[in-house]
């Protein structure tokens, strides 16, 4: 049986899920912000996912010895990011998950159960063996649902010096 309908993808009649792939980048914040606004409009829930590997978690690690275990760093960084972007009074149902694995592979697999996958147009570039922006490109080509690639906002471009 293939996952063709929203009900089959979400696993529940009438409950649709928007999958949001994030890392520690401003572009991910923009993608999460866009997905939350869209979910609030259409009544969907958000599934916010950060894929990690030990080599890639430098983006969350604060300076100073010794750093905590990478999975804890990723969980704490993701929870803080979601809280900052969505705020405490967000009307959208949200689940947050940290999954070990390559971002593009994790997101494509998780897209089997989503109505929509939302990613930023580029990330940190720390994905092993992949060039900047290739995760979103891979997802656009291989995801099992529609994909929205969110371009950086003017605020993100200003804060990053672009």
Query: Could you give the 3-state DSSP secondary structure of residue 60?
Result: coil
Q: Is residue 8 part of a domain?
A: no
Q: Is residue 38 part of a domain?
A: yes
Residue spans of the chain under pLDDT 50: 1-11, 123-132, 158, 160-162
Closest CA to 18 of 113, 99, 120, 137: 113
Q: Is residue 5 part of a domain?
A: no
Q: 40-75: per-residue pLDDT in tens?
A: 999 999 999 999 876 665 555 566 677 678 888 889
Q: Are 104 and 58 in contact (CB under 8 A)?
A: no
Q: Is residue 81 part of a domain?
A: yes
pLDDT for 132: 43
Q: What is the pTM of this model?
A: 0.77
Q: Is residue 9 part of a domain?
A: no
pLDDT for 4: 46
Closest CA to 35 of 23, 47, 25, 24: 47
How many separate domains does the chain show? 1
CATH number at 64 reads 3.40.50.620
pLDDT for 131: 40
Q: Which domain holds residue 52?
A: 14-127+143-159
Q: Is residue 3 part of a domain?
A: no
pLDDT for 62: 61
pLDDT for 76: 92
pLDDT for 156: 52
Question: Which tokens in the block code for residue 83?
Answer: 């809280």
Q: Is residue 121 part of a domain?
A: yes
Q: Is residue 136 part of a domain?
A: no
pLDDT for 130: 42
Torsion angle defined by CA atoms of residues 96, 101, 106 and 110, in that order, rounded to the nearest 10 degrees:
-50
């Amino acid at each position: 049986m293939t996952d063709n309908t929203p009900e089959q993808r979400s696993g529940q009649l009438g409950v649709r899920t928007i999958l949001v792939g994030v890392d520690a980048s401003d572009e991910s914040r923009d993608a999460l912000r866009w997905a939350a606004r869209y979910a609030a409009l259409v009544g969907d829930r958000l599934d916010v996912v950060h894929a990690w590997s030990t080599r890639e978690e430098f983006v969350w690690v604060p300076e100073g010895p010794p750093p905590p275990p990478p999975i804890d760093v990723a969980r704490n960084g993701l929870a803080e990011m979601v809280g900052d972007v969505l705020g405490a009074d967000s009307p959208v149902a949200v689940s947050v998950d940290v999954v070990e694995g390559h971002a593009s592979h994790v997101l494509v697999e998780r897209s089997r159960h989503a109505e929509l996958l939302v990613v930023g147009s580029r990330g940190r570039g720390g994905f092993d063996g992949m060039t900047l922006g290739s995760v979103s490109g891979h997802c656009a080509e291989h995801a099992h649902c529609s994909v929205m690639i969110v371009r950086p906002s003017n605020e993100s471009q200003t804060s990053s010096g672009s």
